[in-house]
Structure 1
Amino acid sequence: MLSRLTRPTALTAVSLCALAVLTACGDDSPEGETASGFDAVEVSGPVGEVPEVDWSAMLEPGETEAQVVEEGDGAVIEDGDKVLTNLAISNDFGQDISFDTYSDQGVLLEVGSEAEPAQVVDLMTQLVKDEIEPGTTTVGTRVAIVADAEEEFGDLALNLSSLGIGNEDGFVLVADFEAVALDGPEGKTRPAPAWAPEIVQEKGKPTALDSSGLPEPDPKATELGKAVLVEGTGPVVEKGQQIVANYIGQVYGAKKPFDSGYARPDPAIFEIGTGAVVKGWDQGLVGEKVGSRVLLEIPPKLGYGKKGQGEDIPGDSTLYFVVDILAAA
């Protein structure tokens, strides 16, 4: 139920099989000067922001090349780490940024893992993962990869139009390694307040929020209830950042959660403080530290209001969330 919290990332969710019949969209590229590898394109700009890409020529078909544009000074990335990464793509035909994740949701790359690509963006993330050297690559590093779509992906290049790449285009893929996500909350544990629901756990993971026995919250309340159950020691979450989070959400009095990130293989990524999520999240998580576990009591005014959301969240519902902040950048 992530779509109830944030905008769906439609471009990255397109399946490869659904696009397999697309036709070439780079066939009409104008003839002009060509160059090989990074002689054709230059990448600049600060890490953490959409890169500046300057094409001086069309890319000659050839082997895929990669280079470190800037080496970070953050933590060393190890095998098995999950790395919050932002991507940007530009092709040599349009020569602008045709796809990026900086203004919405980045991707979480698990170092050393291999899987068959299921979505178009998976083709790109695998290229990026191949450039991470466990024990050497550091957080804050920017890498750039130049490739010819047809030579790198063969027939799968027909799928790349959703990323702004024609099947005969050359392209540059830029990746910023922004943060390594924690496995769970880390810090000093604090007692829950009297108003808090009981956190039901199984194998150390929250599975439900039991509010039975608690007085019914006032649906006209305007104040957010917040308790930091684990006070993290990481950096402070700032407005406009992307956070990596595990969470569970349940309506007051409900018998089961309406959503649980803990039930999925990977935590979710959200932009915080900008209206991409419910107001209660924006108010409650900005200013907290990475590693924290935060309990939120969200009145309807800061949640889904009088209309509610679908069958699981009736109008005027008070929402309870437990959120583990695992990374921010």
Structure 2
Amino acid sequence: MRLFWPALLMMATSCGLADDGAMPVVSGTFGSKPVIAIPSSRPGRTPRVTVLSVGAGRRTVPGDVVLADVEIHQWTGNKPYLTTYDAHQPTAVVFDGRHVSATWREALIGRAAGSRVMLVSPAGEAQGPNIPLTGLRPADTLVLVFDILGGYPADARLVGRTLPVIPGDLDLTSEPRTIIDGSGPPVKAGGKVVVQYVAAEWPSRRVVDSSYRRGGPSAFTLERGAVPSGWVEGLTGRHVGCRVALPSPDERRPMLYVVDVIDSIGL
């Protein structure tokens, strides 16, 4: 569990200025959906990164998978454009040498977990992974607020343990089962959980998804509707560092999961 400094409503550090020095003001605490107030003045033409609050966790480094919630507004009209807060699934940005925009690197790399960072940039320079520019012109200005949950190695795993496999006797009637005990903080319902996992469809038992294959850990808010069925009950109360096998008897697509809990972030 990490402790974070409260969000500041003033700029801590900044690179570049708007035409008249005015910048958006962001209110709210780390982990809550930010409220963005945009001035009536015109935006500047160059990207600007502002650290709104500094966390107390490990700093992200090149090569990490950075997990962060992000709120994006258009400068003009302060129109909401995209958010991960409502979906309760932070975005995962893989800094493994593949193309990630320079503005996102500036905003996310070298930042302590628990930090809130604002990026103001023309849309053409602010595009991140899985962030489309639908309905925008490259020159349109975007305001992005990131809550950085942390940076994790792409192959983050339980130390000294082999990769997870679906147990041969796991089926949809099974109770959640601890395969490996963890010794870290307990997982809390409603908090963020960082996991690696393997998923197999039922009844074929064919592995159809694996975070290890897709580039690294993912983060979820541990509440119903934000994670597969069975995860809230199966992971709540377990400890970071555990491995849990659990069924997900969703009528639309029943699955079997083995989940490695890499981190837990209580907000």
Unaligned 5+ runs, structure 1: 1-34, 118-122, 190-203, 314-318
Q: CA deviation at 1:324?
A: 0.6
| Mapped contact 2:229–2:250 kept (Cα < 8 A) | no
Please tell me whether residue 144 in structure 1 is matched to residue 118 in structure 2.
Answer: yes
> 2:58 is matched with which residue: 59, 72, 75?
75
Indicate the SS of the match to 1:171. strand
Counterpart of 2:167 in structure 1 is 209
Is contact 2:195-2:262 (8 Å) kept?
A: yes
Asked whether the 8 Å contact 1:185–1:230 carries over to 2, the reply is no
Partner of 2:68: 85
1:50 equivalent to 2:26? Answer no
Shift of 1:270: 3.3
Q: Is the 8 A contact 2:59 2:151 kept in 1?
A: no
Q: Please report how far the alpha carbon of residue 179 of structure 1 lies from its aligned counterpart in structure 2 after TM superposition.
A: 2.7
In angstroms, what is the RMSD of aligned CA positions?
3.2
Equivalent in the alignment of 1:289: 239
Distance 1:226 1:37 in 2: 58
- Percentage identity across aligned positions? 26
Specify the SS of the correspondent of 1:205. Answer: coil
For the pair 1:327 / 2:263, whether they are aligned, the reply is yes
TM-score by length of 2: 0.74
Aligned to 1:109: 93
Match of 2:211 in 1: 261
- Secondary structure of 1:279's aligned partner: coil
Q: Does structure 2 retain, via aligned residues, the 8 Å contact 1:91–1:172? A: yes
Query: What is aligned with 2:230?
Result: 280
Other-structure match for 2:249: 303
Counting matched residue pairs gives: 241
Match of 1:128 in 2: 104
Counterpart-to-counterpart distance in 1, 2:104 and 2:238:
30
Per-residue deviation, 1:38: 5.8
8 Å Cα contact 1:40-1:59 kept in structure 2: no
Is 2:187 the counterpart of 1:232?
no
The one-character-per-residue Cα deviations of 1:283-309 (angstroms, maximum 9, x if unpaired) are 10122222221122x3xxx6134xx63
Deviations 1:139-162 (CA, angstroms, capped at 9, x unpaired): 111111111335x479xxxx6236
Give per-residue Cα distances to partners, 1:51-105, cap 9 Å, x unaligned.
1111122433422111111111222334433222111111121214321112222
Q: What do the CA deviations read for 1:251-278 (whole angstroms, capped 9, x no partner)?
A: 6774643443333322334332222333
Change (3 A) 1:36 1:291: farther
Taking structure 1 as reference, are residues 44 and 253 closer, same or farther at Cα in structure 2, changes over 3 Å only? closer
SS in 2 for 1:209: coil
Distance 1:295 1:261 in 2: 15
| C-alpha displacement of 1:184 | 0.8
Worse-superposed segment, 251-260 or 137-146: 251-260
Give, as a single letter, the amino acid of the residue that structure 2 aligns with 1:206: P
The corresponding residue for 1:100 is 83
Compared CA separation, residues 230 and 75, structure 1 to 2 (3 A): same
Looking at structure 2, the residues matched to 109 and 234 of structure 1 have their Cα atoms a distance apart, in angstroms, of 25
Q: Which of these two proteins has the greater Rg computed from alpha carbons?
A: 1
Q: 1:240 to 1:37 in 2, by over 3 A?
A: farther
Local SS of the residue matching 2:220 = strand
Note closer, same or farther for the CA distance 1:237–1:90 as it changes in structure 2 (3 Å cut): same
8 Å Cα contact 2:22/2:41 also seen in 1: no
Shift of 1:106: 1.0
Contact 1:209 1:257 in 2 (8 A): no
CA gap 1:37/1:278 in 2 versus in 1, 3 angstroms: farther
Does the aligned pair in 2 maintain the 1:106–1:242 contact within 8 Å? no
Partner amino acid, structure 2, of 1:184:
R
Give TM-score scaled by structure 1 length.
0.62
In the TM superposition, residue 48 of structure 1 has moved relative to its aligned partner by 1.0
